[in-house]
Structure 1
């Protein structure tokens, strides 16, 4: 059965906003986007805000840290105003950024904005994380959850995912289009590239694509959401390339790096490792969501990926 986002009544939403912000929230409106969250905009005292709801218990605990980290880096990321639980759901209240989803812009607008997007990706990778340690998912304290990138890769692909979005995910081999032999083949290839990615530790947005960017058509006005982690920043580049292939992402990135005189050691190997890492997770996700066409496209890309 495909995953479905949690449903809420208007009275439940109003109660959360009342308890956290007091009286006065108006024009509560559902927003599109978000695969595991139900998102609503609202107005309070003339200002725009967003509230997100998820049935994953600790879905938003890291966002306060990430918000502060990215805002300090000059990256337009929403400020967090409230975090809590209601009726088995986690919610997060944030300032609403100006603009609309980049996905709603034309292909020409998206292509024109790609150099700016690459600049944002580069600044995220340069964020000061020297006071933190670890790899993988970022915790509320700002540290990664694993001692090495290899440990993280093994953990996120393990069968036991109790208490997470991927609990009982091996059932997908039986109930969905997810193929065990294909999954195991890609996983084997991924592990051969782990050493290339492991030597690079930066902030990673984790879902850096047009649905998580806002724009007014002439500039990027906000970066939102994310599955934030520490590891190789080329993972964000791989996500961007696979979601926006019409924008010549890789060439734009390499030209940007060249002009900025930034050297990227083992670029090709690290990028292939990034494709395998995100692509493998994509296979599971598309299977769970019932998105067969996206599954088949990703399957074809990964199996034909050449070193």
Structure 2
């Protein structure tokens, strides 16, 4: 029995019958744990399991499919396992409807009650009423730090003009915050769950830009989601830049071309 499985079992007042590594979790360990009473759960480590538990709760409260939280502690999160057949190609339309529902939950300002992190990279969520300022300070500039002088200079120049590019006060939508295709579970042509959230309130277009980073949403997705505001195509590379910077910062030079491409398309 692993320490991770044992800590989770204690939180749910059970005993471990079996624990094995579960695929996924590039920034955390994930195990599939079966208890002696027959219960099954996925157990994760992470930078802030209790914050992630609150985020999963917010997704479910918004009417979006997400794993049930069984328990959370300072070092471990125990959640339900959801079906996944890997069939996102058949579920794009349903994902559009799910994301529209998620973004229909509104906040009063930008940010989130909890700060968070992707691995060693902190994510500050301090509340703000100025969206370009929030996105510049707490997303782009923070993720660019340490990626090299040229990228830092170009990101700094972009942030100096961000108020001309982004709306100052778009409706603060509840965001998944890390919505790439690997964090969308599907079953039978429907979304069975959104996982690994990094929630905050912000411009809903950023979730869509992030989703397009490693996948190509179909026409069915956009038809189900609904019309996007004018200028969304011009904003898309600016919104995709943040997750690209995160990948460059955490995973190295293989993502430099992606970052430079988004900066070039954005005019910087």
The answer, yes or no, to whether TM exceeds 0.5 is: yes
Change (3 A) 1:201 1:271: farther
Q: Structure 1 residue 217: deviation in Å? A: 4.8
Note if contact 1:39-1:51 (Cα within 8 Å) is conserved in structure 2.
Answer: yes
CA distance in structure 2 between the aligned counterparts of 1:32 and 1:263, rounded to whole angstroms: 36
Note if contact 1:283-1:298 (Cα within 8 Å) is conserved in structure 2.
Answer: yes
Q: Which residue of 1 aligns with 2:101?
A: 123
Q: Which residue of 2 aligns with 1:53?
A: 45
Note if contact 1:134-1:145 (Cα within 8 Å) is conserved in structure 2.
Answer: no
Change (3 A) 1:31 1:302: farther
CA distance in structure 1 between the aligned counterparts of 2:233 and 2:198, rounded to whole angstroms: 19
Q: Structure 1 residue 115: deviation in Å? A: 0.7
Note if contact 2:60-2:66 (Cα within 8 Å) is conserved in structure 1.
Answer: yes
Note if contact 2:63-2:102 (Cα within 8 Å) is conserved in structure 1.
Answer: no
Q: Which residue of 2 aligns with 1:208?
A: 179
SS in 2 for 1:243: coil
Alignment root-mean-square deviation, CA: 2.9
Q: Structure 1 residue 182: deviation in Å? A: 3.1
Note if contact 1:51-1:93 (Cα within 8 Å) is conserved in structure 2.
Answer: yes
Q: Structure 1 residue 91: deviation in Å? A: 1.7
* Aligned: 1:181 with 2:162: no
CA distance in structure 2 between the aligned counterparts of 1:157 and 1:184, rounded to whole angstroms: 12
CA distance in structure 1 between the aligned counterparts of 2:60 and 2:246, rounded to whole angstroms: 32
Q: How does 1:29-48 map to 2 (within 5 A)?
A: 29-44=20-35, 45-48=37-40
Q: Structure 1 residue 231: deviation in Å? A: 0.9
Change (3 A) 1:185 1:155: closer
TM-score calculated relative to the size of structure 2: 0.81
Change (3 A) 1:31 1:186: farther
Note if contact 1:234-1:271 (Cα within 8 Å) is conserved in structure 2.
Answer: no
Q: Following superposition, which runs of at least 4 residues in structure 1 exceed 4 angstroms of deviation?
A: none
Change (3 A) 1:255 1:216: closer
Change (3 A) 1:17 1:70: closer
Q: Structure 1 residue 83: deviation in Å? A: 1.8
Structure 1 unpaired stretches of 5+: 1-9
Among 206, 227, 239, the alignment partner of 2:210 is 239
Q: How does 1:110-259 map to 2 (within 5 A)?
A: 110-127=88-105, 129=106, 133-139=108-114, 145-148=126-129, 149-157=131-139, 170-173=145-148, 179-195=151-167, 198-245=169-216, 247-248=217-218, 251-257=219-225
Deviation by residue 1:213-239 (Cα, 9 ceiling, x = unmatched): 112353221111111110111111111
Deviation by residue 1:122-141 (Cα, 9 ceiling, x = unmatched): 111113x4xx533123439x
Change (3 A) 1:112 1:284: closer
CA distance in structure 2 between the aligned counterparts of 1:279 and 1:158, rounded to whole angstroms: 8
TM-score calculated relative to the size of structure 1: 0.71
CA distance in structure 1 between the aligned counterparts of 2:165 and 2:25, rounded to whole angstroms: 30
Q: Which residue of 2 aligns with 1:295?
A: 256
